[in-house]
Amino acid sequence: MTEDEFDAFYAAAFPRLTGQLYAFTGDHGEAQDVVQEAFVRAWDRRRQFLADSAPEAWIRTVAMRLAVSRWRRAKRWLELVRRTPPPTSTPGPDPERTALVAALRELPEAQRMAIVLHHLCDLSVQQVASETGAPVGTVKARLARGRAALAKHLAVDEADGAVREGSGRVR
């Protein structure tokens, strides 16, 4: 089969095969995908196809096998998902983390960025400077000012270790 004959065959057979596979799969998009994949595989064998050797039957068989294979993979995946139940509940953030996030929101963006990158992402001052495009001295100043501002918003109670929001004074 020449390229032109294959193109004509494709144009005539694709809609018909897609309709047949749609009836088989129940999903029009899936039917189009498997028929298209079968035609791609047939393209490599187009010289072996003869007009009287039923190339449409070969493509239909390949498309149906592809559809079954996809269905089996989906079924195995679903069985795997069902075997692994989701966690019963996801714990929320602890009070310390909530207080820290609230205090960080109070900081100017540049200070917040420096604090997060340096203390939470474990970047060095030089790395923070590189990532933010600010000079090293500016990053150091932002870190110092940010820590001072956080200290005003957060205080650790030495007796019980609880984090309190407020004026920074613990009584």
Confidence (pLDDT) at 69: 92
Cα→Cα distances 118→40, 114, 121, 139, Å: 53, 6, 6, 10
> Facing residues of 156 across strands?
163
User: 45, 163, 52: which is closest to 97 by C-alpha?
Assistant: 163
Mean pLDDT by 10 residues, the chain (171 residues): 84 92 89 93 76 79 93 88 78 84 90 92 92 94 93 65 46 32
Helix/strand/coil for 2: coil
Confidence (pLDDT) at 51: 54
Query: In terms of residues, how long is the chain?
Result: 171
pTM above the 0.85 mark? Answer: no
Confidence (pLDDT) at 169: 38
Confidence (pLDDT) at 170: 37
